[in-house]
Structure 1
Amino acid sequence: MLFARTFRVMTDRFHERLADRDLEPLRPAHGFVFRYLAEQPSATAVDLAVHLGVSKQAATKTAAELVEWGYVRRTPHPADRRAHVLELTGKGRSYLRFADALWAELEEEFASAVGAERMAVLREALEAYLDGAEGGLRPVW
């Protein structure tokens, strides 16, 4: 439970810092979409729904918000006339770099609280545990 609580505190702090900036009302679910589309540049709403563990309608709605805000582009699928390909725009990729920098700040704060040596041991242990684990960053609703 300590890992879950730590992740929650860091996520809350991340979103508090986002609120201090003049950005759209991005939610944690949007972050999972950014990460997925960065790794799967030709994903469809169905692919996104499977990854997020939500209905196609919910994934389509979330993607539509990001399209409206200019973070994601939706283009016709080359092989399936019913589907659309979702991909990050330049604004979406810029936001992802910004979010990575913000997470790095939070990790630095964590490291300063526990000490650099303990942080290095923790990082090594977590990487060892995750080595070979399937799947990327996914929500746990």
Structure 2
Amino acid sequence: MSDLDLVSLLSTSFHTLVDKLHERLAELGFRDIRSVHGYIFKYIALHDGATGIELADHLGITKQAVSKIVDYLEENDYVLRKPHPTDKRGKIIVLTERGQLAIEAKEKILNEIEQHLIYNIGAKRMQMMKDDLANVICEAYKRTSPFKK
């Protein structure tokens, strides 16, 4: 498999790890969570709640699409719409206890996955890989084209 190009290796490894995450979440009773839900949970947790417009801007999707996703999450007891504290007409979306438990489960699973990788490749190589990937990300934001020097 090492004869694959870098993008294919990164993409395949990403999907493999995300699949493992979702497999473990399902085992813990969170089989109805999808990747987009994680982005929503994280944003809500970091900001102590969010409006639909904020989530739409963050995800780069329409407010209508966010509304459908939030409806699904609310039906499955991950989030709750509450009156906005400063906008009488608005709603703020907050995590429920189940939503918070899902975040905690995700963090625990990601830690387990990382520990498994450290066991297989070693702590030094893991840190080198993380540093290299962080550098790739930083470089991507410094230039308009990744191919210019």
Same fold (TM > 0.5) = yes
Change (3 A) 1:58 1:45: same
The answer to whether the 8 Å contact 1:45/1:59 transfers is: yes
1:55 CA drift (Å):
1.0
Let me know the Cα RMSD of the aligned residues. 2.3
SS in 2 for 1:43: coil
Change (3 A) 1:24 1:81: farther
1:130 CA drift (Å):
5.2
Structure 1 distance, partners of 2:78, 2:111, is: 21
Within 5 Å, which residues of 2 pair with 1:95-114?
95-114=102-121
TM, length-normalised to structure 2: 0.77
1:25 CA drift (Å):
1.2
1:90 CA drift (Å):
2.3
Structure 1 distance, partners of 2:25, 2:80, is: 22
Q: Return 99-108 or 78-87, whichever deviates more.
A: 78-87
SS in 2 for 1:75: strand
1:67 aligns with 2:77: no
SS in 1 for 2:82: strand
The answer to whether the 8 Å contact 1:24/1:69 transfers is: no
Structure 2, unmatched stretches of 5+, are: 1-6, 142-149
Change (3 A) 1:112 1:88: same
| One of 50, 59, 64 as aligned partner of 1:57 | 64
Q: Which has the higher contact order (CA 8 A, sep 6+)?
A: 1
Structure 1 distance, partners of 2:126, 2:80, is: 38
Q: Deviations over 1:9-32 (max 9, x none)?
A: 100111122222333511111111
1:117 aligns with 2:116: no
1:79 CA drift (Å):
3.1
Based on CA coordinates, which of the two structures has the bigger radius of gyration?
A: 2
Question: Percent identity among equivalent residues?
Answer: 35
Q: Return 78-87 or 48-57, whichever deviates more.
A: 78-87
Structure 1, unmatched stretches of 5+, are: 135-141
In structure 1, the partner of 2:39 is 32
| One of 4, 12, 15 as aligned partner of 2:11 | 4
Structure 2 distance, partners of 1:3, 1:23, is: 26
The answer to whether the 8 Å contact 2:21/2:109 transfers is: yes
1:101 CA drift (Å):
0.2
